[in-house]
Amino acid sequence: MHDLMQKHISDWRSQLKKGTLELAVLALLKQRSRYGLELLELLNGAGLDVREGSIYPILTRLRTEKKVTSQWVDDGKGHAHKYYMLTPFGTETLAAMRVAWAEYNTAFAQLIGDSRG
């Protein structure tokens, strides 16, 4: 692939990630409370290529926006971890984001042609 094209696609992927990372984090926290590095490992395990320097500002913003809360937990096996969990507002936000995502995904699939079928 041409260098300019690779840069363009890389920049575009970065913008996609920025726009969807909150949804991914909230969805993971809906399953159960998690600490930052655990979230990072799950996101990267899904192929999202998130850097450690990106996850904590998102978690801080989500806490400021009252979508998540956090608490330090020491399990006695090492150092304490700050666990994040959804608030009721975070749960409502996630539900609304899932609806918006489904609508957007359907519309976009119609525009570009759904490659699954």
pLDDT-derived band at 1, boundaries 50, 70, 90: low
Q: Which two tokens stand for residue 32?
A: 């159960």
CATH: 1.10.10.10, 3.40.50.720, 3.40.50.1100, 1.10.10.60. Which one for 3-112?
Answer: 1.10.10.10
Residue 67: strand, helix, or coil: coil
Closest CA to 44 of 29, 58, 25, 62: 25
What's the order of all strands across the beta sheet hosting 81-86? 34-35, 81-86, 68-73
Q: Which two tokens stand for residue 29?
A: 């926290």
Q: What is the pTM of this model?
A: 0.84
User: What is the average pLDDT value for the chain, to the nearest integer?
Assistant: 89
89: number of Cβ within 10 Å: 13
Q: Check residue 74 and give its pLDDT.
A: 87
CA distance 41 to 76: 22
Q: Check residue 62 and give its pLDDT.
A: 97
Residue type, 54: S
Closest CA to 98 of 45, 26, 16, 42: 26
Q: How many residues does the chain have?
A: 117
Q: Check residue 17 and give its pLDDT.
A: 75
Question: Which residues, 6 or more positions from 32, have their beta carbon under 8 angstroms from its beta carbon?
Answer: 85
Domain boundaries, the chain: 3-112
Q: What share of the chain has pLDDT > 90, as a percent?
A: 60
Q: What does the pLDDT look like over 35-63, one tens digit per residue?
A: 999 999 999 999 988 988 889 999 999 99
